Structure 1
Amino acid sequence: MPDVTEAEAEQETARTPTATAPDLVALEQEGEIAADYIEGLLDIADIDGDIDMDVEGDRAVVSVVGVKGGDLTGKHGEVLEALQELTRLAVHRQTGERSRLMLDVGGFRERRRAELTKLGVKIADDVKRSGEPKPLQPMTPFERKIVHDAVAAAGLRSESEGEEPNRFVVVMPA
């Protein structure tokens, strides 16, 4: 292997793309646009609620808090998923950029995250005992990611199979 001088190594490093930090200003702008959009929807529907905005990692997070009932989430979060997509479209329309914005209503996503983490750990334990792969029910991409993370933390692997909207996780033995 040829020797690489320090200058050559620096040039190579300069040419190699690195992960960039998220653009906080752009993410905050996404949050503002989304908050305005959601505020308008709440006004039209005559629903009381406060809006919190945050940036978590590389995405804007908008939460509607103080909302009564599940009208904005739906039985299994279907309404929340639809609202999130509409909000992402509103952000895209104004910025021209694809948004990864996360919308939560009344803490639904946080509760769901806790449930799915428990499920992922339980299923991983079951698969470790039985040695057999275990398919789960269809889930949204958000839900599948949580299960994949919980399974990986338990030391197993998982895969997503099927086509949307019936895509599901299969937990595999070690």
Structure 2
Amino acid sequence: MPEDQQVDETTAPEAAAATDDLDDEIRDSDESEADVEDDESEDDESDDEDDSEDEDSEGDEGSGGSGRKGRSAKLIALDEEGDIAADYLEELLDIADLDGDIDTFTEGGRAHISIVTDANLLVGKDGEVLEALQELSRLAVMTETGKRSRLMLDIAGHREKRRAELTDLASDAVEEAKASGEAVRLSPMNPFERKIVHDVVAAAGLNSESDGEEPNRRVVVMPA
């Protein structure tokens, strides 16, 4: 058994109960998660637009125009999202009796939360628990602010590792599409993963599109 999953026999009942509490929190989000999924799929198409808006705001800020106030207000709102989500996740960690350091930062027009921990329990198979915790965090922010959140959550570096894997996968698909002259269909992915692949394909000078319905929506890499 991996070291980070070992539990002292004297604390096993308490740890099990805490984990059950966390599972209940995640199950309670299932109905809301279905509603958020449709919005999340739109992020594939809106990320570039949002990033462009951020660049425009930075230009206004540098010129001392009205964009300065808008940019500052947006950063303040994102900082608030991060703080709300961090407090919520810290409570969940306490309930589950799990250790983890929580970092918050803003990047690409989103609030980002990173939990530094060795507990893979919070990631789950194929990141399923991570995705559920991200939706719970977004719902916690929406409850407090009344606005939909696009914050990103990473736990134990899972997303960064996945990003590296998908970058390699997308690069291979690009080479295959160029060599064969045929479209390459990749395995189903979540919106976060599809966005990474789209970016790699675009950087290589090819086009890609998303095809299918969730949860079987996938990226198709088109030949030149």
2:194 to 135, 144, 149: 144
2:154 to 104, 111, 117: 104
Superposed CA deviations along residues 54-80 of structure 1, whole A, max 9, x for unmatched, are 000200001000x12321111211111
2:214 to 164, 169, 173: 164
Asked if 1:48 corresponds to 2:99, the answer is yes
Q: Secondary structure at the match of 1:36?
A: helix
The one-letter amino acid of 2:195's match is K
Structure having the larger proportion of residues in helix? 2
Aligned-partner Cα distance in 1 for 2:215–2:83: 30
Asked if 1:30 corresponds to 2:88, the answer is no
Cα deviation for residue 118 of structure 1 reads 1.1
Aligned-residue RMSD, C-alpha:
1.5
The one-letter amino acid of 1:125's match is E
- Following superposition, which runs of at least 4 residues in structure 1 exceed 2 angstroms of deviation? 17-22
Aligned-partner Cα distance in 2 for 1:152–1:24: 28
Extract unaligned runs of 5+ from structure 1.
Answer: 1-16
Asked if 1:91 corresponds to 2:141, the answer is yes
Say if 2:98 and 2:119, in contact at 8 Å, map to a contact too.
no
Extract unaligned runs of 5+ from structure 2.
Answer: 1-52, 58-70
2:131 to 71, 81, 89: 81
Aligned-partner Cα distance in 1 for 2:191–2:102: 24
Structure having the larger proportion of residues in strand? 1
Aligned-partner Cα distance in 2 for 1:69–1:42: 11
Asked if 1:61 corresponds to 2:112, the answer is yes
Instruction: Output the TM-score relative to the length of structure 2.
Output: 0.68
Count of aligned positions: 157
- Structure exhibiting the larger radius of gyration computed from Cα positions: 1
Superposed CA deviations along residues 98-139 of structure 1, whole A, max 9, x for unmatched, are 101000001111111111111111110011000010111100
Aligned-partner Cα distance in 2 for 1:57–1:76: 24
Q: 1:94-133 to 2 correspondence within 5 Å?
A: 94-133=144-183
Aligned-partner Cα distance in 2 for 1:124–1:144: 14
